[in-house]
Amino acid sequence: MINYQKFTLDNGLRVLIHEDHTTAMACVNVLYDVGARDESPEKTGFAHLFEHLMFGGSINIPNYDTPLQEVGGENNAFTSNDITNYYVTLPAANLETALWLESDRMLSLAFSPQSLEVQRNVVCEEFKQRYLNQPYGDVWLRLRPLAYKVHPYRWATIGKELRHIEEATMEDVKAFFKKHYAPNNAVLVISGHVRAGETLELVKRWFGDIPRGADYVRALPQEPQQTEARREEVDADVPVNSIYIAFHGPERLHPDYPTMDLLSDLLSRGSSSRLYRALVKDQPIFSEVNAYVMGSVDSNLFVVEGKPLPHITLDEAEKLLWNQLEIIATEEVSIPELQKVKNKIESTMVFAELSILDKAMNLAFYEALGDANMYNHEVEKYDAITADDIRRIAAQVFRRENSSTLIYHAKQTEDVE
């Protein structure tokens, strides 16, 4: 249970403050409710580009990192298809420095041609190294558009293609900032060794005068139900053959989402999980096999992936993988097996409450979803899941017509004598 106080400033900024006096540190987390799904199909990768641009300095503070380092602070950020999140941890006595830095770049980010060019080059290089020149790096550039045909989840956070970032103009960048980087499209969470009343006054001092932006109303196209299996096979310079199967599943706020999430843990969490025992340990078919849920706010993907051993054909490996999915969709999971996974999930959530950063990020994410207090009831939702729920969702998700399969054929190399 994370106790917090919530306030909303006149400009729409939602502020959550969590007091934790077991530490001398504080965390300032700013979540902007914008991700890759909010981009134009012709201008993708902008949310991720902005994650980098936000560290390029503001009009009043040309170097974001230097003043933070001088007060013992550390910072980082990440972008997903749904959100962009920035966080700072520092000694609580220096909290105001973090608020000063975050408020200044929210108000007056510097749009210099030099900063844009530097960060554009950084992002383009990341695109090349991580997605184009690395084995299996392009998996999401292939699997997303295979699984999604309408929804903007069809492109990865890095963007659909390198050209979109290479051709980004200063006008494009300024328009994106104006549309999404406003206090009424953000959630500010402060956790750690702070007092709510004093902290709120500091927040008002640094954020209160930032003008409210135009309200952003999200109107995304809904992905239609998939009615036939999709498949793509590629020959690639990868070490071994690989299989990726993506299934559509419930969105993040759907009552069945926790069941789907728990199902992925039953299949693939640890050495005692279903897929590991059946296909790696007991009957060596794969060198590695995994199952996971993307955790997206909108229509989700449940992904099963594996790398067959060299002596196993792809057809045989794929057949045995499907066999395991059909078993869990038709046979009831035992109570001990189900309870063991529930215990792991609960321990993970409890452990997360030991970190002021984890608490701040979780509160921010759930507030962006609609209500931060939902996080405090997550364990209850998972604990209520029954074996029948698991079988029902497995049967609903693991259907051939609901599958998008990507196969990597490793190119054969000739031995050189």
Owning domain of residue 77:
4-208
Backbone φ and ψ for 52, nearest 5 degrees, come out as -75, -40
Q: Is residue 25 within 8 Å of residue 200, measured between CB atoms?
A: no
- State whether 203 and 263 are in the same domain: no
Among residues 178, 208, 238, the one where a domain terminates is 208
pLDDT tens digits, the chain, 417 residues: what are they? 899 999 999 999 999 999 999 999 999 999 999 999 999 999 999 999 988 988 887 888 888 889 999 999 999 999 999 999 999 999 999 999 999 999 999 998 888 888 899 999 999 999 999 999 999 999 999 999 999 999 999 999 999 999 999 999 999 989 999 999 999 999 999 999 999 999 999 999 999 999 999 999 999 999 999 999 999 999 999 999 999 999 999 999 999 999 999 999 999 999 999 999 999 999 999 999 999 999 999 999 999 999 999 999 999 999 999 999 999 999 999 999 999 999 999 999 988 888 999 999 999 999 999 999 999 999 999 999 999 999 999 999 999 999 999 999 998 755 444
Q: Is residue 246 within 8 Å of residue 403, measured between CB atoms?
A: yes
Q: Within a 10 A sphere around the Cβ of 299, how many other Cβ atoms?
A: 23
- State whether 84 and 135 are in the same domain: yes
Cα–Cα distance, 340 to 372 (Å, whole number): 27
**Residue 54 lies inside a defined structural domain of this protein:** yes
- State whether 273 and 124 are in the same domain: no
Cα–Cα distance, 205 to 225 (Å, whole number): 49
**DSSP per residue over 94-111, as a string?**
GHHHHHHHHHHHHHHB--
pTM over 0.85? The answer is yes
Cα–Cα distance, 227 to 108 (Å, whole number): 48
Among residues 208, 242, 272, the one where a domain terminates is 208
Cα–Cα distance, 291 to 277 (Å, whole number): 13
